[in-house]
Structure 1
Amino acid sequence: IKQLKVRGAPAIGIAAAYGIVLGALSIQAADRNSYMDKLQTVFSDFAGSRPTAVNLFYAIKRQKQSIADKTTPSDIKQALKDTATLINREEEKAMTDLSRAGSALIKDGFNVLTHCNTGQLATGTSYGTALGVIKAAGEQGKHFTVYVDETRPLLQGARLTAWELLQLKIPFKLITDNMAGHFLSRGHIDCAIAGADRIASNGDTANKIGTYSVAVLARENKVPFYIAAPLSTIDTAIKSGSDIPIEERDPEEIFQVRGVRIAPHSISALNPAFDVTPNKYISAIVTQKGIITKPFARNIKTIFQEDH
């Protein structure tokens, strides 16, 4: 997770759930107290791996809740295994449902702009979030073209989204991140859709760095901008995007592309992994329970009340 071998908020959550199981299985302890002391270190290690993606903390919380009433190490291990499997199955269904719900937003003949990677590789599921919506629309026989931002600095769009679209046989064009405004202003884009790493209770959304720019450019050019994410990505404990922690990554990611140095030595760089898109730039949020429209604060609260 730290090295981005697993990335994408839903995939991080699933991997963390199973990772906690692996950590639990490696612990040697005779009684519950000593076992729990060691298990707490496992929880802490995962909690400190990446700060922005709320699915990580959702998985940790679910795992902690699952063992609250367990009295023996063997029962704890089994509960953790069962919960990890359940989280995986729940996310699989959530991605399938949200993808099919969101597919209505993509019409025949559209050009769709997307950012970063939000498909199977980012979610550990059969569909995905934003790319899952695109996949579902393609399965319905719609003909459209995807514009794929390369997504600097790690090129998730060029390396991952482009590969997934090739497998799906959905037509696409790869563009650099700074081309988005050009194509939006020329009327080449009909809608833009991105995933999310954490959504505040008012709809403000943290996602891969560059998402905010796409959203602002889309609004300026009167193009709808959608977020696709499961309910597990919505953090109802956070009121607005200003409360979302933003991960700062190693500047070396800026200095290199695939191991090749592209900048002078002895310089500094900034490398926030995410930015926050204020809710005013978001047209709707696609979830497994349907499409959430404005006002987001009220409608997010309502959908959680209905879900529980």
Structure 2
Amino acid sequence: MICEGRVVVVTGAGRGIGRQHALELGRQGAAVVVNDLGATLHGEGSTPGPAEEVAAEITDGGGRAVVNGDDVADWAGAQRIVSTALDAFGRLDAVVNNAGFVRDRMFANVTEEEWDSVVRVHLKGHFCVGRAAAAYWRDRAKAGHRHDARIVNTSSGAGLLGSVGQAAYSAAKGAILSLTLVQAAELGRYGVTANAIAPSARTRMTEEVFAATMAPPAAGGFDPMDPSNIAPLVAWLASPLSAGVTGRVFEVEGGRIGVADGWQHGPTVDLGRRWDPAEVGEGVAALLAKAPAPAPVYGAAG
């Protein structure tokens, strides 16, 4: 068991991908804080049922788990999520940020409330829980304690490439990638790594929008869109085995794991003097001739 003795917080762990993360971490020996509001697909309402069911499944299998129902994007709630781990298990070794919901809308139609709510739960939720954990690890490191801690953030193909009809979701998931890079750069001194995943699997968020792609295979056999396929990578990233891997984004779908190659410095043109506006077009044309074509946005017309 690669996470034996570890204590891991998993947010949004009541259903879908987060549920599978929590169950796999439990099987791998981790004590799990199962955080979930039990909200609807669109982030409305709450019920403790889903989180309680996951925790019960872990404990029924001989593992250790407790439930937390706090809002990840609430500052005090995020502190309580971390405190739940410390109170129940005496330590915290990893945070898996997974909580989120969608309110899909074309960019010209999205409302301020829809934008704010999606960015809040995804981006601010990642920030609040990660920040609470980072403060704990930093303070202990300054007191002389050594850590081998982990942050695992959840982005998306929409965050990497954009997705038509998901402006707010794409923007939030893209920002999570940048946040991950900063966390990796800043927290390494405290013994903390930070990585992100961009998973593709069948969840409440995907099975309606991408019904044909997400459907289980009619003939049985390996189901590439089963959300349990994502969990082994997350368990490994949360484990001591991933030490030294930080600031990376992994795409994962079915049996495939890839490393996403993000923004890089590309071709340049330097005149050695100030550009005249009339010259810029020729310079840009030369740059674009050297640069690779951008990957298409998901859902864009081919």
TM-score scaled by structure 1? 0.32
TM-score scaled by structure 2? 0.32
